[in-house]
Structure 1
Amino acid sequence: MILTLNINGQGAEQITLDPAAITLAGADIDVDAAAVATEIQTRVRALGTAAAYQGFGCSYDAPSNRFSLTTPEDDSTASVVVYDGTLATLLRLDAAQTATLTGAALASTGTLFSSGVSGLPSLSDTSLTLNIDNLGDITITLDLTTLTLAGTNAADGQRVALAIQNAVRAVDARIGSYKDFSCSYNSSRQFVLRSGSSAIRQSGLAVTDGALADLLGLNAADTPLLTPGRQQEQGTAAVMPLVTLGTLAQGEQLLGGGANPPTANDYNAFYGNVLRKVRDVSILLLPGQAWPQSGPHAIIDESLAHCERMANRMLIVDPPKGLELTQAATVAQLGLPTSTYSVLYYPWVDVANPFYNADTNPNASTTLSVAPSAFAAGIWAKTDGRRGVWKAPAGVEARINGAAALAYKVEELEQDQLNPLGVNCYRSMPNYGAVVWGSRTLATKADPEWRYVPVRRTAIFIEQSIFNGIQWSVFEPNDEPLWGALRSNIGSFMNGLFRAGAFQGATANEAYFVRCGLGDTMTQGDIDRGQVIVIVGFAPLKPAEFVIVRIQQKVAQQ
């Protein structure tokens, strides 16, 4: 007999059980079932050396009369899928194994439904309360005017069963336990209720005592027979990936410990000892560290100080969660930073909850609230790749993909209040959905030269590109040939940006300049100290004034 499984997404595998190879007692079903479970476990572990196979377990629980298949969490999730087949049906592991509740047999004589003292018309309450697969109580009510009961028990029983089935299915079409729920009235005069799903965490079906439940033989005193169905539970423990140079592997599972979270001093140590050595970082986010409505914000302060010291990266700050910003006074009360390296987006964004599942996890929230910085960083990166850092990451091109809703709606009045303060708003625009509608730094008023995000980021891009591109000059003599070569090389780079549309101005002279020379950018003292200084200016696309970038390099080193 063949059993087909897929363990931890490894792919469908077949194992074959040979009854002749299993010692079966015959007289004791529990002993025989345990022997079958042991054989299944042995066969699966023989499939390979993967942890999914070697850690696989199969057991039989006599009290519940169930086979249980388990697997270790060797990846971000763990799962066991059993495909339908003869052996799967024998072990009650096939998809048809849903929870069933069979009521007591009704009276064999008399008119049961259409009339009589205990018939449906005599009931003052025709509601029925059920709990299917532990999803919580639901209550349905039968409309007697639509049943058209004819007085024939068999036909009327089937009409009542169909009405119950349709009412339950209408509760929530997204949940399999309801969507495919069935109710029937059999020849033994019993109502049989069946869950619509076998892919659930807890299989079961219960009916709350009531007048209608009593008429249907489903009250507790009637001792209806419950047959639980197949249950599935997927592992979802959080896992921290382990990434080392040249290696991408699964790391340590997070145990949900209660250790103290990192402090501002911890962040400061990390920035000073680790992150300052990584020059390629250009965007810094702080998940879980939104700007507070009141009180200290030491971690954000340390992070912003790091960005200012490095002068090559920007911090995207998150606003307080649950706070609606409607006017300038509300923003002023927050005391936001005014650094040219700080940016803030608003509001928070609701996205689909990846852990919600209509069948296996229906009680979970359908959406999660995500900090706006996450979307902003992604849009920055996308805009950089498509248009360049000089293009403002905003407008109808900057759509917030994956947004189910915005926490607060920003209209023109709020936009006019918030934008001048450097609060970049997410807005829902007709025909475009949620988009970024602002591209200012928090230095909008304190330092107008750097009021725009693309201006600050373009300056960082130019400075870093030039610095990395003139490393060849380190051991060159610090004289006019070197200065001329630097002016030429950097000028070519700037001209390429000008042609790409990075600067304002009709001609190259209006768009940028490059200066390097004795008496211009350097003194003899600078040369004696082995320093070559290049000054580059460019006209950014928004402000009309030139933005000056000063690059200093050590040369003539031995």
Structure 2
Amino acid sequence: MPKFKHPGVYIQEIPTINTSIVAVPTAVPAFIGYTQSAACQKDGDLHLTPTRITSFAEYCRLFGQSEAEPLHLELTSTPAGIVLKSTTPVLPRQMMWYAIRLFFDNGGGECYVVSTGNYQSSLTLSALSDGVQVTAKVDEITLLLAPESVLLAAADYQQLVNFMLSECNRLADRMALFDLPDGDKTLSASLLSTNRAYLGNTHLDSGACYYPFLTTTQRWQSARYHQHITVSLDNGKTTQLSQLKTDDPALFKVIESLLADLYVSLPASVAVAGAIALVDATEGVWKAPANVQLRGIKHPMISISDTANEALNTDSSTGKSINAIREFSGRGVRIWGARTLAGNDNEWRYISTRRLASMVQESVQKSLNWAVFEPNDANTWARITHSVEQFLISLWKLGALTAASPDDAFYVRCGLGTTMTANDVHQGIMNIEIGMAVIRPAEFIILKLQLHSQQA
């Protein structure tokens, strides 16, 4: 609008272009899975719709609660009395309610939920794949999780992992977090090799994997509903818990006391996603999400020794690093690894490096939209270079880049003879090269971006 100086005379305001780089959010996970409901205005209107939530209460309002599901207890008699030998299933089939709660308990903030069906729906590769696919519509998402994937058949799990990794690689702005399907078992060399094989062989830098499953402080919802619980005694007899209340009140009371100490186990990745959000908010995306204490966890389902940890962390043949969750006396349960699946890749071995690079690339790409409407000339290239340099200086000051001075911490190139040919300029192509000295692996990583001028 014109600005009047005095009657009959006005000065036309010339719009200014904001050339500063604004950092994009870095820890916005999408949880893909089955929910009790998916309703905002009407039943089912949120089905396969990425929906942003900021609290567990909001999740419950839109996607419902957890319901009682069949639970089988195998008991055995010992000199000390009757003890619980095993629980079936190991993980709840209705996992999302527990998972979202654990995410927020560990410092998670905003996230997206994609409901792929209700609790009566069959768990299928097709439904989870559809859920992954629709997340591409939301540019804000930076992490992908499908915790129920560990319940799929091995071939379906492998196919879903490959699809999630390919989507993360294609979009170049997110990572996938996985769990080993045998997260409740002690891994022999052969079983570890089998689980590694499930993780595919391509785009490994776009994902990270965690082991073992974690026993949480959340109680099974089924424990409140005796008619959903069956009990096997070591005499071979199986009965409903509700029937025992009449047939054997003394045994019923013993089992009730065992139920009071029965806690839900979950894949570790959901807690890790919350910890990543907390680390990003308090320290920055460049801080490795490791040596972080997890909340709401009683203990890992499997105790990991230093030797086992080393076998998880490195693999000379496949390079697929698995991040351990370990419990330490006096220090609690902690994330004890910060590697992507690309454990043999010197450039993209670390989660923090991969995520920092993605953040820088996405932030620069989005913030330089103004440049596509400018002439593809030296003046525009200089403004681009200056904007990116100022952004990287701010990251260096925060400790994201390792060097004594900005000159040693990064470089930015954009211009004829350095990143562009005369033919590139003629076609309106602006190439930008960014080199950053990241903390890990303590050497320069190179990012290459391309803009297309509308004035070509």
Q: Normalising to structure 2: TM-score of the pair?
A: 0.62
Q: Say if 1:376 and 1:354 are closer, same or farther in 2 by CA, change over 3 A.
A: same
Q: How does 1:23-172 map to 2 (within 5 A)?
A: none
Unmatched segments (≥5 aa) in structure 2? 1-34, 42-57, 68-114, 227-257, 316-320
- Count of residues in correspondence between the two structures: 314
Residue in 2 aligned with 1:411? 305
The structure 1 residue matched to 2:265, chosen from 363, 369, 391, is: 369
Q: Is 1:343 matched with 2:208?
A: yes
Match among 358, 380, 401 for residue 460 of structure 1:
358
Q: CA deviation at 1:417?
A: 1.5
Shift of 1:525: 2.1
Give SS of 1:399's match.
coil
Deviation at 1:357, TM superposition (A): 9.6
SS of match in other structure, 2:148: coil
Distance 2:388 2:295 in 1: 38
Q: 2:274 aligns with which of 378, 382, 392?
A: 378
Equivalent position amino acid for 1:301 in 2: N
Change (3 A) 1:545 1:292: farther
Q: Which residue of 2 aligns with 1:543?
A: 441
SS in structure 1 at match of 2:209 = strand
- TM-superposed CA distance for 1:532, in Å, is 1.1
Judged with a 3 Å threshold, the aligned counterparts in structure 2 of structure 1 residues 414 and 360 are, in CA distance, closer, same or farther, namely: same
Q: How does 1:299-310 map to 2 (within 5 A)?
A: 299-310=160-171
Assess if the C-alpha contact under 8 Å between 1:292 and 1:319 holds in 2: no
Question: Is the counterpart of residue 427 in structure 1 residue 333 in structure 2?
Answer: no
- The residue that corresponds to 1:23 in the other structure is none
8 Å contact kept, 1:314–1:342: yes
Q: Runs of 5+ in structure 1 lacking a partner?
A: 1-236
Aligned mates of 2:151, 2:349 — CA distance in 1: 20
What residue in structure 2 maps to residue 333 of structure 1? 194
Asked whether 1:315 is paired with 2:176, we answer: yes
Q: Which residue of 2 aligns with 1:471?
A: 369
- SS in structure 1 opposite 2:325? strand
Deviation at 1:531, TM superposition (A): 1.8
Change (3 A) 1:439 1:365: same
Change (3 A) 1:512 1:293: farther
CA distances 1:483-509 after superposition (whole Å, capped 9, x unpaired):
000100100000110111101222212
Superposition deviation, residue 448 in structure 1: 2.5
SS in structure 1 at match of 2:365: helix
- Give the structure 2 partner of residue 26 of structure 1: none
Residue aligned with 2:150, SS: coil
| CA shift for structure 1 position 336 | 7.1
Whether 1:286 aligns to 2:146 is yes
Whole-angstrom CA distance in 2 between matches of 1:459 and 1:259:
41
Q: Residues 327 and 418 of structure 1 are in contact (CA less than 8 Å); yes or no, is this contact kept in structure 2?
A: no
CA distance in 2, matches of 1:511, 1:470: 22
Separation of aligned partners in 2, 1:525 and 1:441? 38
Q: What is the aligned partner in structure 1 of residue 73 from structure 2? A: none
- Higher Cα Rg, which structure: 1
Change (3 A) 1:451 1:520: same
Q: Is the contact between residue 242 and residue 250 of structure 1 (CA under 8 Å) also seen in structure 2?
A: no
**TM-score between both structures, scaled by the size of structure 1:** 0.51
CA root-mean-square deviation: 3.2
Cα distance change, pair 241–514 in 1 and its aligned pair in 2 (3 A)? same
Q: Which residue of 2 aligns with 1:275?
A: 135
What are the superposed Cα offsets for residues 185-227 of structure 1, whole Å, 9 maximum, x if unpaired? xxxxxxxxxxxxxxxxxxxxxxxxxxxxxxxxxxxxxxxxxxx
Q: Distance in 2 between matches of 1:357 and 1:268?
A: 29
Aligned letter for 2:312? L
When you count helix as a share of all residues, which structure comes out higher?
Answer: 2
Structure of greater relative contact order (alpha carbons < 8 Å, 6+ residues apart): 2
Aligned-partner Cα distance in 2 for 1:498–1:290: 39
Amino acid at match of 2:145: L
The residue type equivalent to 1:450 in the other structure is W
Match of 1:402 in 2: 296
Distance 1:292 1:270 in 2: 15
Q: Which secondary structure does the structure 2 equivalent of 1:460 belong to?
A: helix
